[in-house]
Structure 1
Amino acid sequence: MKKGFLVVLIVFMLFLTSCSVMNSSPFSQPENQKGAAYHDFKGFGIIDYKAFPQVAQAKLAALEAARQDAYSKAVEYIYGVYIDSKTTVKDFVLQNKSIESSLWGTIRGAQQIDEGFNMTEGMAYVTIRIFRKDIEELLGKKLKNF
């Protein structure tokens, strides 16, 4: 009885280990090491065949959306995000809540290092790389914890 339970436990642990190694999330970001010479940002765009009935046009639009998403992630990482929130409460009941976020920044020196399609998920992806020296030049200061 104990042997059978042990075998089931080992098989289950191997299954969990294999799931984590496969990196099943299609939205995973590249891992960047602390102190690295560059930082990678991965953006995603949905392939919309309804808005763009031509397959090539839908793929190009998805690639452009993915490129813009990658640049947005880079701006958010480098400059941060401004968030404005307004909440209205009456008699201890939430009446209205709005949250707005905005990004603003300039990106120079970015290089597109990868692009492609994940057709099972129906999306495009683009990865851009920005070197530490370019970020330091943009900010006008040396970075300690990059």
Structure 2
Amino acid sequence: MAILNRRQLLAVALMLLSGCSYERTIRYTLEPPEQTLILEATGYAVVESQPGSSYEDKLLLAMAASRQDAYRQLAEQLYGKKLTASSSAEQSVLLEDTVQSQVQGVIKGAELIEATVDGKLFVTRLKLDTANLITLPQASLTPASPRQKWWR
């Protein structure tokens, strides 16, 4: 067995100790926002344009479509809308211009205000009080006090 010289021993010790580091855990407390908003959204759907053999089938599908439209509008207000646009031109002539939009989010606690037939439309109105939201995007993160114990 070969005996390591001092340089090799020092190099091995440095490699072994370099993996050791101090880990610091920062705990955060959730604080409610100072000002809350009440968001309202209205969804519409045309009853006659829905597929179905009877008026009742069309009405049920219009109810679902208008509710989905109202929830989409709430998500758009709460989270925003992602837009993707592209254009193509050849010799200074616009050939194609497309815009796509996407909304993604989770809506919890929305209150149904109204779901009625208004002429040829089915209308759904929703309300969302942001004070009731217990989700991370609505809370501000501030470091906990160093005197505050994490287990309390």
Q: Same fold (TM over 0.5)?
A: yes
Provide the C-alpha distance between the structure 2 equivalents of 1:70 and 1:130, rounded to a whole number of angstroms. 11
Aligned to 1:140: 138
Cα distance per residue 1:86-110 (max 9 Å; x no partner) = 1111111101111111110000011
The answer to which structure, 1 or 2, has the higher relative contact order (CA under 8 A, 6+ apart) is: 2
Provide the C-alpha distance between the structure 2 equivalents of 1:50 and 1:110, rounded to a whole number of angstroms. 25
Provide the C-alpha distance between the structure 1 equivalents of 2:39 and 2:50, rounded to a whole number of angstroms. 35
Aligned to 2:48: 48
Contact 1:49 1:55 in 2 (8 A): no
**1:100 is aligned to 2:61:** no
RMSD of the TM alignment (CA)? Answer: 2.0
Alpha-carbon distance, 1:134 to partner: 3.2
Could you tell me the TM-score, scaled by structure 2's length?
0.63
Q: Which amino acid aligns with 2:132?
A: D
Provide the C-alpha distance between the structure 1 equivalents of 2:86 and 2:52, rounded to a whole number of angstroms. 37
Say which of 129, 132, 136 aligns to 1:131.
Answer: 129
Following superposition of structure 1 onto structure 2, how do residues 11-26 of structure 1 map, counting pairs within 5 Å? none
Larger radius of gyration: 2
Could you tell me the TM-score, scaled by structure 1's length?
0.65
Contact 1:108 1:138 in 2 (8 A): no
Aligned to 2:150: none
Aligned to 2:67: 67
In the alignment of these two chains, the number of paired residues is 106
Contact 2:50 2:61 in 1 (8 A): no
Indicate the structure with greater helix content.
1
- CA 1:92–1:104: 2 relative to 1, 3 Å: same
Q: Which amino acid aligns with 1:113?
A: I
Gaps of 5+ in 1: 1-34
**1:38 is aligned to 2:53:** no
Local SS of the residue matching 2:105: coil
Contact 1:115 1:125 in 2 (8 A): yes
Aligned to 1:5: none
Contact 1:85 1:100 in 2 (8 A): yes
